[in-house]
Structure 1
Amino acid sequence: MLTRATLTNDGRTIELGWEDGTRCRFHAIWLRDNALDDKTRSAGNGQRLITILDIPAETHIGATSMKGDALEVTFVPEGKTVSFPVQWLRANAYDRDEPRQPGWTGDVIQRWTKATMQNSVPRASYAAAFHGRGILREWLSAVRTYGFAVMDGLPAESGALCKVADLFGYIRETNYGRWFEVRAEVNPNNLAYTNLGLQAHTDNPYRDPVPTLQILACIENTVEGGESSVVDGFAVAAALQGENPDGFRLLSSNPARFEYAGSSGVRLQSKRPMIELGPDGELICIRFNNRSLAPTVDVPFAEMDGYYAAYRRFAELIEDPAFEVTFKLEAGQSFIVDNTRVMHARKAFSGIGKRWLQGCYADKDGLLSTLAAIEHDFREAAE
């Protein structure tokens, strides 16, 4: 319950207090810009109907009153009164005392290692996810929380991986096509198409933006070896930061360069850090792919030794079995990874038998949008 609302700074700010002792302050201009009335926001889609220039620069609060579970605020000089639900104010509070340390992640993200994940890999059957929104919600939520999940029960046929993408969004087509084959080839244009083992990596760091989701589906797998594995890049980055804060700083504040020129008419290049932080220090992306790393030319000479030491240690941690979760895909199984967070790898396999996987890319915003819509519907049904 909201217990008090006190105007400060001549009405340009307001301080709110709750009965549990929590307090937070809001600026009048912020409240006016985020007003929820139908003259400020569209009732249909929630988008703003005004611009910042439509709000008087001298906006302040002239009066407030508490009515039930809402706070009514009158803005001057407009003379406009807007009602703000108390729960909305609490959920959108930005007046925080504690500073966030670089490398933080939101509460919904759970970092993991082999010890915490090997025996609890998130999975669902395709039929159950297709027919049950509750199952689909759990599976999509696992991808959001852990950065990967397995799906069983797909048809063991070419193109079946598209069914996974169709559950939440759309395939992102690239120069590799709508989807691509992952099996041994003669004179391949990518090492993924051989029977060699692959170091844990994120895909396509030479793109800007990178594909944010990758789906790999198994059509046939009768070889010895060839197990898939995943590594939580966020957990590895946290480990590096814990033992070598300066190394973490070097990998997150200096860009690496990536490039690909393996196909005729294709020359892809990007310049982004291996560990990417947002402006507020949030850990938002891992890019790690030794095969695609171009010469690093953006690190100052005085810091290059330290940068390479951090890069080496980051690679050692990624290779540490303590961070690796391993599973073998059988025909009709697939897995999805958040390509901005989770690295995937493959063990070497023999030339006896066949291993045929197909891969494609999709966008995380579609997955998160579908998940948010399902969660919204479930909340409304519960109310």
Structure 2
Amino acid sequence: MSVKGVTPIENTLEINWQGDQKSIYHNIWLRDNCHCSECYYPITKQRLLNSATIDINIKPKSVNVKEGKVEIVWDTDHSSTYDVDWLRIHSYNPRLIPLDKKLKDDDDVLKQKLWQVKDIKDDLPQVDYNKIMQSSDETDNEEAIKEWLLQIHKFGFSLINNVPISPTDTEKLCEKLNYIRPTHYGGFWDFTADLSKNDTAYTNFDISNHTDGTYWSNSPGLQLFHLLYHDGKGGTTSLVDSFKCAEILKAKYPESYEIFCKIPVPAHSAGEPKVCIQPDIPQPIFKLDHQGKLIQVRWNQSDRSTMDYWENPEDVIKFYKAIKNWVEIITSPENELWYQMKPGQCLIFDNWRIFHSRSEFTGQRRLCGAYFERDDFISRLKLLTLGREAVLDSI
């Protein structure tokens, strides 16, 4: 969209767009976001300008619009040039729809698809191991990886077929996605139910729906499993779309939803003699962004610590009622997808969104897998689906 006119007003600059829309930018904000070579290092996309040196009352000496650019000479004689598309994307007063709709979270390209069992049981998201391993950023052939990332983002999980029944090959698959996150369990892990680590995951117990790592300030973003061997019965995995369940909770039990948004829940990992991990600040079960959109569910009854701090003691009963309402929803057959993992097929899921569980089992069972950071995943997802230019424009 082109610019109809630019008007300096006190400490701001008003841009009038075609279509009778307008944006107001503070002069100091514009000066702070100058991308000339003196103020910004284009290779690393980092600021060189010290924002504290800018005069709060800085004013433009002249303003010109030319060939899709707004050129400003400031009263300090410094010149700044802004692309009009960039200005529109970053309009904050008011916030406008970005020129490139692919930058919007609700665009079809990156729109998440919340599900119940009926929506997904007959068409599970799946990719082929060999196609993923043949993809390469060196040859600009990353379509299989792009499809894989989109499946994980949209549905919260993906199955990878035809994986060699080998921890070495599984680890190579993990590295094809991104960096493996090291923890006190190790980096890439390979284990049986032998309690080599003091955690119920290393037993044959039934484990209820949960997310991993509520005892870390930054819970793992993704988790990958590969069942290498099992000579017994049971050990069936369930998957639950907690975002869909939160939507149901909000509609059916709004007070419980609000409680899960505000009550901080402490957690711990203390099974190992030299480990007692706790988040720096206890966090609510539902984490919302600044616009009130749900972005993470932290749910693990096993790892919840003693809750002995209540700003309002009346919330105690409300919290436990919320747990009852929540468990009613997440264990409903409508929302709990049961799936039997098998050697040669990996499962990867969004640990901020998808609950997993495991039924009790008999016999020997060997599993390998890894954690991944969410930031690394989102970075690669956006670069592959939106393109580097659009992503850089958005920052």
- Distance in 2, matches of 1:96 and 1:324, equals 42
**Residues 223 and 371, structure 2, Cα contact 8 Å, conserved in 1:** yes
| Secondary structure, aligned partner of 1:64 | strand
**Alignment match of 1:316 (pick from 328, 333, 339):** 328
**Is 1:288 paired with 2:287?**
no
Alignment of 1:1-383 (within 5 A): 1-7=1-7, 9-19=9-19, 21-68=20-67, 70-96=68-94, 106-107=105-106, 108-110=110-112, 111-132=114-135, 133-181=142-190, 183-185=192-194, 189-270=198-279, 271-299=282-310, 300-349=312-361, 351=362, 354-375=364-385
**Residues 211 and 362, structure 1, Cα contact 8 Å, conserved in 2:** yes
**Residues 133 and 173, structure 2, Cα contact 8 Å, conserved in 1:** no
> Does 370-379 or 56-65 show the bigger shift?
370-379
The aligned amino acid for 2:367 is L
Task: State the shift of 1:182 in Å.
Answer: 5.0
Normalising to structure 1: TM-score of the pair? 0.87
**Residues 6 and 14, structure 1, Cα contact 8 Å, conserved in 2:** yes
**Residues 215 and 337, structure 1, Cα contact 8 Å, conserved in 2:** yes
The aligned amino acid for 2:59 is H
Cα separation, partners in 2 of 1:368 and 1:73, compared to 1, 3 Å? same
| Secondary structure, aligned partner of 1:72 | strand
Task: State the shift of 1:179 in Å.
Answer: 3.3
- Distance in 1, matches of 2:31 and 2:196, equals 62
| Secondary structure, aligned partner of 1:263 | coil
Task: State the shift of 1:159 in Å.
Answer: 4.0
**Residues 188 and 194, structure 1, Cα contact 8 Å, conserved in 2:** no
Tell me the equivalent position of 2:99: none
**Residues 211 and 299, structure 2, Cα contact 8 Å, conserved in 1:** yes
- Distance in 1, matches of 2:330 and 2:239, equals 10
The aligned amino acid for 2:292 is G
Aligned positions, number: 370
- Distance in 2, matches of 1:197 and 1:113, equals 23
Gaps spanning 5+ residues in structure 1: where?
A: 99-104
The aligned amino acid for 1:117 is I
What percentage of residue pairs aligned between the two structures are identical?
Answer: 25
The aligned amino acid for 1:345 is S
Normalising to structure 2: TM-score of the pair? 0.84
Task: State the shift of 1:355 in Å.
Answer: 3.0
- Distance in 1, matches of 2:92 and 2:337, equals 37
**Residues 220 and 371, structure 2, Cα contact 8 Å, conserved in 1:** yes
| Secondary structure, aligned partner of 1:167 | helix
- Distance in 1, matches of 2:277 and 2:253, equals 32
- Distance in 2, matches of 1:311 and 1:96, equals 40
Cα separation, partners in 2 of 1:31 and 1:187, compared to 1, 3 Å? closer
Task: State the shift of 1:265 in Å.
Answer: 1.3
| Secondary structure, aligned partner of 1:372 | helix
Gaps spanning 5+ residues in structure 2: where?
A: 97-103, 136-141, 391-395
- Distance in 2, matches of 1:298 and 1:272, equals 13
- Distance in 1, matches of 2:231 and 2:290, equals 47
What is the alpha-carbon root mean square deviation over aligned residues?
Answer: 2.7
The aligned amino acid for 1:44 is I
Task: State the shift of 1:216 in Å.
Answer: 0.9
The aligned amino acid for 2:134 is H
Task: State the shift of 1:307 in Å.
Answer: 1.7
